[in-house]
Amino acid sequence: MANNQMRTSLSIALAGSGGSGVMTAGEMLLDAAAKAGLYGMMVRTSGPQIRGGEAAALIRLAQKQTVSLDDGFDLLLAIDWQGVNRFADEIPLSASSVVISDADEGEPPEVFKQSGARCFALPLKKTAKSIAGSWVNMVALGLAGTLSGIPTEALEAALRSSWKKTEEGLKANLAALHAGIKAAGGIDGFAPLKAGAQGSGKPWLITGNEAAGFGAIKGGVRFVAAYPITPATELLEWMSPALTKIGGTLLQAEDELASVNMVIGASYGGVPSLTATAGPGLALMAEAIGLAVTAEVPIVVVDVMRGGPSTGIPAKTEQSDLSFAVSGLHGDAPRLVLAATSIVDCLATTHWAVQLAEALQAPAIVLSDQFMGQSRAIIDPPPDAGGEGQRLTVGANTADYKRYRNTESGVSPMSIPGTPGVPYTADGLEHNEKGTPSSQAADHRLQLDKRERKLALYDYGPRWADIEGDGDLAVITFGSTTNAVREALARLKEQGVKARLIALRLLAPTRPQHLSAALAGVARVLVVEQNHGGQLYRYLRAMYDLPRTAAYHRPGPLPLRPGELAKVIAEWANSNVTEKVPA
């Protein structure tokens, strides 16, 4: 084997249709990798059929923790080629890639052959058929796992730990697994992964949706009202039994209007509450989020962004709800908007959102996306992000209680129903300090100032952005693109191109001083994001004084990859482009 440098990162695509079980095999591969001390992540892609459709598990395995996809795939293992053209552009191959397919399924499609990848044909289905009661995806698992360098013990352990059927079936599938392991010997010249470098703590296997749900619970959320919507439903399905276990409740509402209003009601009652949705649902919730702003009721709305606008592309990712999140409410309605930067960060950022919402008695929108929400990653146990949110409340029978009293911080002590002597009526109508509806100019001005001030003056600490690197160039981004940018910049650093990364976690309120400080010494900025309109670019230009700023953005569904971004950043770094970099 020439050039046999073992890899630090390896990307595998498992494709198949109609019951071939590639998703399950992918999950097991990820599990086996975790058991073998590796890191990695898995993205799913499939056709529009609910069952039997063409599907692919897109997996990246690495020595070190990774939560973004690589530029292409090193191995494409296809059980069959049916419908695979649908996601051919999600599986870029190169001449150094290897394609393994079933000998009885014909030649790989042209779109894969033209990459120059080396193609092998193996009797995958025949092998499985020869072992009674076994599935072909287990052959694929053994094959892909072994080629990746994952030890047999880890692969076996992954199968055993997820097996819920008969002992007989387990035996058969172990045999199929071993057949696949054996078959790997027939594939030459494929460099496996270096040994994993997991940290000391036991790693977690978690999706962004699960992480967000858990972060909410850690922040103290005990009531959720929600409506199913792709790609947020799994967050709700994880939270439902979890809440029951710890003494909370999830209520499936009739729609998003009900969901958000229920959450406001529960929070008014003193219980930290949350709902989760996607773009169309967030749009429905706009009026009520404004109510939460004016009545100063803390709520958290997780928006797992998907292809928009309107019904859009429900099962694919995009970062195109930013504009709506930061400015989609009628009236002057300041609210918190946060964006998780990775699958891992969904936990800490949702946790933080609950803490902030409670502390500031305001709604917080947490932007996640389908890529993070529905993908599973192997991660180090996340660091502790503090305790539950704390609400500033007022004691019983406090004299001269005014719910919306003007304070220096802008936060007024809140009365929780059940507390004697301090009743009030929360209102979406503008009000005076007591809470009585008012159309007076002075009251309106006071309350508007207060609601803005409470968010603007708060000390958010260092978590508002990840700021890494130095130099006079800076790349600003948010959400799941963060890791692709980070990887791109790491590659460029090796080539002598330096740029800072500023991944924004707190998108609203805007805090010009802090961004200016982060941009001290920066002569040019590139804003990178996954949407068509350059929403972050336009937002930053509107709200901040920036040095010369260019934009690179393109819409979903295809992810922004490190290689693509490295190229764009390098070109921009070496040029004098001040406008938009063509995507």
Partner 1 sequence: MNDVAPAALTAASYKSDYKPIWCPGCGDFTVLSAITKAFAILQLQPHQVGVVSGIGCSSRIPAYTTCYGFHGVHGRALAAGTGLKVARPDLTVLVAGGDGDGFSIGGNHFMHACRRNVDLTYVVMDNHVYGMTKGQASPTTEPDWDNKLAPGGTGISSYQPLVIALAAGASFVARAFSGDPNGCAEIIAQGIRHPGFSFIQVLSPCVTFRPEQREWKTMVRPAPVEPTDDTSVAARRILTDDGFNTGVLFSRTRTPYPHYRSGTGKRTVADLEAEFQL
Partner 2 sequence: MTKAQEPKAPETMEEFMAFALAMEREAVDRYTDFADTMETHNNREVAAMFRKMAGYEAKHAEQIMAEMGWTATTRLPVVKLDWPGFEAPETVSFDEVHYLMRPYHALQLALAAEERAERFFAELARITTSDSVRRAAQEMQAEEAEHAQMVKEWLAKVPAPDRNWAEDPDPPQNPD
Applying CB under 8 A, the span of 76-84, 418-426, 452-460, 465-473 interacting with partner 2 comes to: 76-84
Residue 310 contacts partner 1 per CB under 8 A = yes
Residues 192-231, one symbol each (x = binds partner 2 by CB under 8 A, - = not), give: --------------------------------------xx
Q: Give me the least distance between CB of 47 and partner 1, in Å please.
A: 8
Rounded to 10 degrees, the C-alpha dihedral 133/139/145/149 comes to 120
Alpha helices in 222-255 (DSSP H): 233-246
- Among positions 28-57, residues that touch partner 1 (CB under 8 A) are 47-52
> Please, what sign has the CA dihedral across residues 476, 481, 484, 486?
positive
Q: Give me the least distance between CB of 564 and partner 2, in Å please.
A: 27
Q: Give me the least distance between CB of 86 and partner 2, in Å please.
A: 11
Applying CB under 8 A, the span of 48-56, 459-467, 490-498, 558-566 interacting with partner 2 comes to: 48-56
H-helix or E-strand spanning residue 528:
strand 524-529
* Antiparallel, parallel or unpaired: β 473-478 and 500-504: parallel
Six token digits for residue 405 = 């009293």
What is the DSSP code string of 383-401?
Answer: PP--------B--TT-TT-
Residue 244 binding result from partner 2, partner 1, none, given CB thresholds of 5 to 8 Å by partner type: partner 1
349: Cβ contacts below 8 Å, ≥ 6 apart: 212, 215, 338, 339, 340, 341, 366, 505
One of 31, 80, 256, 296 touching partner 2 (CB under 8 A): 80
One of 15, 23, 69, 515 touching partner 2 (CB under 8 A): 23
Q: Give me the least distance between CB of 82 and partner 2, in Å please.
A: 4
Applying CB under 8 A, the span of 87-95, 133-141, 226-234, 292-300 interacting with partner 1 comes to: 226-234
221: Cβ contacts below 8 Å, ≥ 6 apart: 248, 272, 273, 274, 300, 354
Q: Give me the least distance between CB of 314 and partner 2, in Å please.
A: 4
- The span from the CA of 334 to the CA of 510, in Å, is 10
Instruction: Give the sheet arrangement for strand 9-16, strand by strand.
Output: 118-122, 98-102, 75-78, 9-16, 55-62, 39-46, 376-379, 204-207
Residue 478 binding result from partner 1, partner 2, none, given CB thresholds of 5 to 8 Å by partner type: none
Q: Which is nearer to partner 2, 103 or 583 (CB)?
A: 103
One of 71, 90, 105, 237 touching partner 1 (CB under 8 A): 237
Q: Give me the least distance between CB of 243 and partner 1, in Å please.
A: 11
Residue 368 binding result from partner 1, partner 2, none, given CB thresholds of 5 to 8 Å by partner type: none
Six token digits for residue 417 = 């129903």
The SS3 of residue 66 is: coil
The SS3 of residue 448 is: helix
Q: Which is nearer to partner 2, 369 or 529 (CB)?
A: 369
Residue 37 binding result from partner 2, partner 1, none, given CB thresholds of 5 to 8 Å by partner type: none
10 Å Cβ neighbour count for 320? 24
Q: Which is nearer to partner 2, 189 or 228 (CB)?
A: 228
What is the DSSP code string of 104-136?
Answer: GG-SPPHHHHTTT-EEEEE-HHHHHHHSTT--H
- The span from the CA of 447 to the CA of 443, in Å, is 6
Q: Which is nearer to partner 1, 240 or 368 (CB)?
A: 240
One of 37, 133, 265, 469 touching partner 2 (CB under 8 A): 133
Q: Which is nearer to partner 1, 49 or 161 (CB)?
A: 49
Residue 133 binding result from partner 1, partner 2, none, given CB thresholds of 5 to 8 Å by partner type: partner 2
24: left (phi over 0), alpha (psi -120 to 50) or beta: alpha
Residue 24 contacts partner 1 per CB under 8 A = no
Residue 255 contacts partner 1 per CB under 8 A = yes
- The span from the CA of 17 to the CA of 46, in Å, is 9
> Please, what sign has the CA dihedral across residues 471, 475, 477, 482?
negative
- The span from the CA of 454 to the CA of 475, in Å, is 29
Residue 311 contacts partner 1 per CB under 8 A = yes
Residue 254 binding result from partner 2, partner 1, none, given CB thresholds of 5 to 8 Å by partner type: partner 1
Binding footprint of partner 1 on the chain (CB under 8 A): 47-52, 227-230, 233, 236-237, 240-241, 244, 250, 252, 254-256, 280, 310-311
Binding footprint of partner 2 on the chain (CB under 8 A): 17-25, 44, 46-55, 80, 82-83, 132-133, 135, 137, 169, 230-231, 233, 311, 314-315
